[in-house]
Amino acid sequence: MVNQDYKDIISRYFRGQLVDSEYELLTDLLQNNTNREYFEKTKQEWEQHPELDETGNRNMNRLSYQINKTTIIRHIPITRKLWFLVASVAAVLIFGLFFGSTLTYLISQNNTISEQLVFETPRGEKSLVILPDSSEVWLNASSRLVYNSFSSGRRQVELKGEAFFKVARNEKIPFVVKTDEIEVEVLGTTFNIMAYNEFGRKEITLLSGKVNVRMNGIEKVLKPGQALTLKDHQFHIDEVISADAAGWVENKFNFKNIPLSELMKRLENWYDVDITLENTTGKEVNFTGTFKNEETIWQVLDAIKVYTPITYKKTDLRQIKITVQPKKAI
């Protein structure tokens, strides 16, 4: 028999109304077979409402991540998508080893994988994927990495979102990262790729080594300390402080003259909130500044207010409205 309190938690879960502590409680409750069966039944009913799919999918991804947040997976089964749905939670936890607070996927070199592996990191989180060649990939929030088994002559992954790569050097086998517009090829190096579609541009920043960037039939070679930006099918290369681009791996964020609308989208990803810019003026305001993800969303917004003319208010549990103040006439 499923008690009413659990039913209430499930109902609020699918409506996106749970607070972080309740996600932990739900994780514990789902270890019970009866509770898990009720969850699956409710999920099927929820999926019959198309207008709620986006919220439901986001919650499912977030819950899956919370359940496995301290788990390192050594042997990954053949699967089309590594979402670790609730139905398989018990098996995952049995074989898991506790390893800090970041979800880490380790693909064994001994595994025979005949299909794609898809790693997805929800809003408010980041993940570490260790590939069979010992290359490390940090996935930022709201990012997706697709891995195909490496062949004898090519290592290739596909990326949507943002990731920091530390590629194991192999002179004979290049490592290739593909996005929808760019292909980056390296032998062994460290670099950051920002490829969120909603930002309207792609950026590759090189920290060490050398990368070849191919786009629109053009190939460019980057040196350490350089960043290539592609926007509207045009590109430019700038000298930058390359470590700033990968600062998010250590929860440090450094921005130089980015649109306020992009900053708000980044905050949505990092803090798992929904932010609405109340007026279109926000698209005309740029932001330069530094902060840490150790601060709360409210502390960050207060810091932004010091340099940018905004006001904000909480409109729901995870919803914030931002208003950009008009420029004062001189």
Question: Based on the domain organization, do 74 and 63 belong to the same domain?
Answer: no
Confidence category of residue 95, pLDDT binned at 50, 70, 90: very low
Residue 6 exposure: Cα atoms within 13 Å on the Cβ side? 17
d(CA 228, CA 144): 21
Percentage with pLDDT > 90 across the chain: 31
Least confident span in 196-200, 239-243, 280-284: 280-284
- CATH number for the domain spanning 237: value is 2.60.120.1440
Confidence category of residue 82, pLDDT binned at 50, 70, 90: very low
Give the pLDDT mean for 48-52: 56
Question: What is the per-residue DSSP string for 125-192?
Answer: --EEEE-TTS-EEEEPTTEEEEE----SS-EEEEEEEEEEEEPPP-TTS-EEEE-SS-EEEESS-EEE
d(CA 177, CA 92): 29
Number of domains composing the chain: 3
Question: Based on the domain organization, do 110 and 203 belong to the same domain?
Answer: yes
Least confident span in 150-154, 279-283, 305-309: 279-283
Least confident span in 37-41, 42-46, 187-191: 42-46
Domain that holds residue 243: 70-247
Contact 224, 207 (CB under 8 A): yes
Least confident span in 24-28, 62-66, 155-159: 62-66
d(CA 215, CA 328): 42
Question: Based on the domain organization, do 41 and 106 belong to the same domain?
Answer: no
Which of 36, 67, 98 is the C-terminal boundary of a domain? 67
Q: For residue 279, tell me if it sits in a domain.
A: yes
Give the pLDDT mean for 308-312: 87
Question: Based on the domain organization, do 106 and 7 belong to the same domain?
Answer: no
- Taking the model in full, what pTM does it have? 0.72
The reported pLDDT for the residue numbered 34 is: 83
pLDDT at residue 210 above 60? Answer: yes
Percentage with pLDDT > 70 across the chain: 75
Q: For residue 84, tell me if it sits in a domain.
A: yes
Give the pLDDT mean for 313-320: 85
Beta-strand pair 190-195/202-208? antiparallel
pLDDT at residue 248 above 80? Answer: yes
256-272 pLDDT, tens per residue? 888 888 899 999 998 88
Question: Based on the domain organization, do 12 and 103 belong to the same domain?
Answer: no
Which of 67, 83, 98 is the C-terminal boundary of a domain? 67
Average confidence score pLDDT of the chain = 78
Confidence category of residue 54, pLDDT binned at 50, 70, 90: low
- Range picked from 33-42, 95-104, 185-194 for highest mean pLDDT: 185-194
Which of 46, 67, 88 is the C-terminal boundary of a domain? 67
